[in-house]
């Protein structure tokens, strides 16, 4: 999936009746005309949804000095939300955050009456993916020099062999935080969340949901296919991160409790890191109107990632992530990644296929 064809389209449901044969004749035994056969009919429904992103972050430079950098989702944000949601938040440097979500769905049947078609056929396809790269970027975080102790020349060298020794006076330490607090509680549906306060990092989400349900024929033929994947690279000797007197932290607290559905969550406060999520769900459901059912449900999910040839220098600081009182009572398909380290790779991939009668 190095180069993903990015197409977003939906093919509407297509239904038609196809007569096979008609007419009378003789039974071949000298008798009267044979009974006129009933015209077989076909109901065909097709739906497809494709979503994807292709992004590159290359050749960039960022410098911060005595800064407080904060990404925060809090205060009851997205609580009780329903449906499909993509969320990206960024306060870092040289970073790419991508979301892709596609849903295809077929529904329609009333078993109160007899099947109206000889053959009912339906197919649903959903595919979602991201491909991205972060290459040859640099980020520097250090304290600002606000002055010097001493007098004379404005630098810290010992001048003339007997000159005064100048000592720099530094500003505050760098503070980098990423927080999700008291948010996304009781949500229902498909949710993708990316949050970033790190350097030279790539965060990706991909979800595909498809369903072909309640076909109505004497014979039902159904297929449901869902594909999801990510391909990303954080590569190159040019990717470098230098942090001095920098404190980085990430937390998820009091969030996603009582939620249900499909959720992809990524959080990052580190450098030279790759975090990926991929989920695929394929579902096929029959309404038990048919005498015969032929079914196929396929779900595939995967990630391809690499973090190579990067450099990170951290000194006189701290890094940490935490998760407290979150995802309690959550149901469904959930992917979660957290990162506060450098040169790290975190990947999740889940696929589910289901046929029900």
Determine, yes or no, domain membership for 344: yes
Rounded to 5°, the CA angle 201-207-210 comes to 170
**CA distances in angstroms from 92 to 44, 71, 179, 263, listed in the order given:** 49, 9, 13, 23
The reported pLDDT for the residue numbered 59 is 86
CA end-to-end span of the chain, whole Å?
Answer: 35
**Paired tokens of 16:** 């038609």
Indicate the range of 6-15, 33-42, 196-205 predicted with least confidence: 6-15
Determine, yes or no, domain membership for 288: yes
Determine, yes or no, domain membership for 64: no
Determine, yes or no, domain membership for 111: yes
Q: Domain residues for 212?
A: 75-142+171-356
**CA distances in angstroms from 160 to 164, 207, 248, 271, listed in the order given:** 9, 66, 41, 42
**Paired tokens of 90:** 């960024």
pLDDT of 2 above 60? no
Confidence of residue 110 (pLDDT cuts 50, 70, 90): low
Q: pTM value? A: 0.80
Determine, yes or no, domain membership for 14: no
List pLDDT tens digits, range 229-253: 999 998 876 789 999 999 989 899 9
Quote the distance between the C-alpha of residue 281 and its chain's center. Answer: 13
Determine, yes or no, domain membership for 249: yes
**Count of domains forming the chain:** 1
Rounded to 5°, the CA angle 188-191-194 comes to 150
Alpha carbons within 13 A on the beta-carbon side of 8: 9
What is the per-residue DSSP string for 194-258? EEE--BS-EEEEEEEEEEEE---SSEEEEEEEEEEEEEEEEE-TT-EEEEESEEEEEEEES-STT
List pLDDT tens digits, range 289-312: 677 878 888 999 999 999 888 888
Neighbour count for residue 80 (Cβ, 10 Å): 12
List pLDDT tens digits, range 276-292: 999 999 988 776 667 78
Determine, yes or no, domain membership for 338: yes
């Amino acid at each position: 999936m190095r180069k993903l064809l990015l197409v977003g389209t939906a093919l509407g449901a297509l239904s038609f009746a196809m007569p096979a044969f008609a007419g009378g004749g003789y039974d071949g035994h000298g008798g009267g005309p044979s009974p006129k056969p009933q015209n077989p009919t076909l109901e065909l429904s097709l739906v497809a949804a494709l979503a994807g992103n292709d992004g590159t972050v290359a050749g960039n430079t960022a410098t911060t000095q005595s800064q407080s950098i904060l990404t925060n989702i809090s205060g009851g944000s997205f609580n009780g939300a329903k449906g499909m949601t993509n969320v990206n938040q960024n306060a870092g440097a040289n970073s790419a955050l991508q979301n892709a979500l596609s849903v295809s769905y077929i529904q329609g049947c009333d078993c109160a009456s007899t099947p109206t078609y000889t053959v009912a056929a339906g197919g649903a396809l959903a595919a979602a993916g991201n491909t991205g790269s972060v290459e040859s970027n640099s980020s520097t975080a250090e304290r600002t020099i606000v002055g010097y102790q001493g007098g004379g020349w404005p630098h810290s060298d010992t001048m003339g062999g007997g000159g005064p020794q100048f000592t720099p006076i530094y500003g505050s330490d760098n503070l980098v935080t990423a927080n999700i607090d008291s948010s996304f509680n009781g949500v229902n549906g498909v949710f993708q969340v990316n949050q970033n306060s790190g350097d030279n990092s790539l965060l990706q989400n991909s979800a595909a949901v498809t369903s072909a349900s309640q076909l109505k024929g004497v014979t039902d033929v159904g297929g449901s296919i869902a594909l999801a994947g990510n391909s990303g690279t954080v590569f190159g000797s040019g990717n470098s991160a230098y942090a001095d007197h920098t404190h980085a932290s990430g937390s998820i607290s009091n969030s996603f409790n009582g939620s249900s559905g499909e959720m992809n969550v990524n959080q990052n406060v580190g450098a030279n890191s790759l975090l990926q999520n991929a989920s695929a769900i394929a579902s096929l459901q029959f309404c038990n109107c048919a005498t015969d059912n032929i079914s196929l449900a396929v779900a595939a999910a995967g990630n391809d990632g690499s973090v190579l040839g990067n450099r990170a220098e951290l000194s006189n600081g701290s890094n940490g992530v935490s998760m407290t009182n979150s995802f309690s009572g959550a149901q469904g398909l959930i992917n979660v990644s957290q990162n506060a380290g450098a040169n790290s790779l975190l990947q999740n991939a889940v696929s589910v296929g289901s046929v029900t009668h």
